[in-house]
Amino acid sequence: AKEEGRNTYAMYTESLQSKLSEQIWIEHQLHKALDLNQLTLHYQPIVEGITSEILGIEALLRWNHPERGLISPTQFIPIAEQSGLIIPIGQWVLREACRQNKKWQDEGFQKVRIAVNLSARQFYSESLTEEIRTILEETELTPQYLELKITEGFMIKDPDYVNTVINGIRAMGVTVSIDDFGTGYSSLSQLRNFSVNVVKIDRSFVQNIGTDRNNISIVRAIIELAHGMNLKVVAEGIETETERKLLQQHNCDEMQGYFFAKPMDSDRFAQLWRQRMIN
């Protein structure tokens, strides 16, 4: 038993160590990523459920590492958040998304909103509102074509402060949406405490919506609640026709997911968009 305990301990420290060195590696490399132009944005369309018409765009961060290839944001955003690197990275994302959206508008594409994820640290930084204002001025994007995504987790610390920030952002004409709704700690009725414009339903509720009675009930409840408060509902992670159909039946306003299109680089996105305009 003693031997076993030691082995378990050895394995534990080993895996902890490799996890730690992985973190340190990522943090170290991430420091240079911005300067070396290794960060890039991919874009995923948000569409009308029946016609697939593009109604919006979500910007998603990608890290193209020369040796490791594409690294997923779920792997490096938490580390960027911890180290504070998320502040300059988040600023870059916001500027790049606004710049690209304005460019597409200038090229004659339909004017739509671009959604950008905010991290908690970014959201709680004092200069956020000022930074958004500056970036909108610099890129000349009209505020109504920018949407910022926050999550329920932001609310826990200080709901009053959170709503003050949300209202400050909305006062500029920027849309604020609540992402991954229902996956956090709050109950659905908490929705009334957020002064947001849009609710995004998480993929975990959309998955198996055809067979999972709990999921369909949750989705229906979220949509009814949101509509009762005049909020728009967007469902994420639609992968099948069944999911699309059911969400349509339950009056979901807009949809996003691999069924319609995966996130892609700006060139491929423009190509897809051009095709849809012709059809």
Least gap, CB of 48 to Ca ion (angstroms): 19
Asked if residue 180 binds Ca ion (CB under 5 A), the reply is: yes
Q: Which stretch binds ligand C2E (CB under 6 A): 6-14, 17-25, 209-217, 232-240?
A: 232-240
Q: Which of residues 5-44 bind ligand C2E (CB under 6 A)?
A: 44
Asked if residue 74 binds ligand C2E (CB under 6 A), the reply is: yes
The CA R_g of the chain, rounded to the nearest whole Å, is 20
Q: Are strands 198-201 and 113-117 parallel, antiparallel or unpaired?
A: unpaired
Please give the C-alpha separations between residue 79 and each of 27, 124, 238, in angstroms, as whole numbers.
Answer: 7, 17, 28
Q: How many CB atoms lie within 10 A of CB 26?
A: 22
Query: Using CB distances below 5 to 8 A depending on partner kind, what does residue 237 bind out of ligand C2E, Ca ion, none?
Result: ligand C2E
In whole angstroms, give the CA distance from residue 161 to residue 46. 30
Is 187 within 8 Å of 220 (Cβ atoms)?
Answer: no
Least gap, CB of 104 to ligand C2E (angstroms): 18
**Cβ-Cβ contacts under 8 Å for 46 (sequence gap 6 or more):** 54, 55, 56, 57, 58, 115, 234, 254, 255, 256
Asked if residue 69 binds ligand C2E (CB under 6 A), the reply is: no
Sketch the per residue contact string, 110 through 149, with ligand C2E: x for CB under 6 A, - otherwise: -------x-x-----------------------------x
Which of 142, 183 has the CB closer to Ca ion? 183
Can you read off the two tokens belonging to residue 111? 């004017």
Least gap, CB of 163 to ligand C2E (angstroms): 20
In whole angstroms, give the CA distance from residue 106 to residue 196. 29
Least gap, CB of 150 to Ca ion (angstroms): 8
Residues comprising the chain, all counted: 279
Asked if residue 73 binds ligand C2E (CB under 6 A), the reply is: yes
Among 30, 60, 136, 222, binds ligand C2E (CB under 6 A): 60
Residues that bind Ca ion (CB under 5 A): 117, 179-180, 236
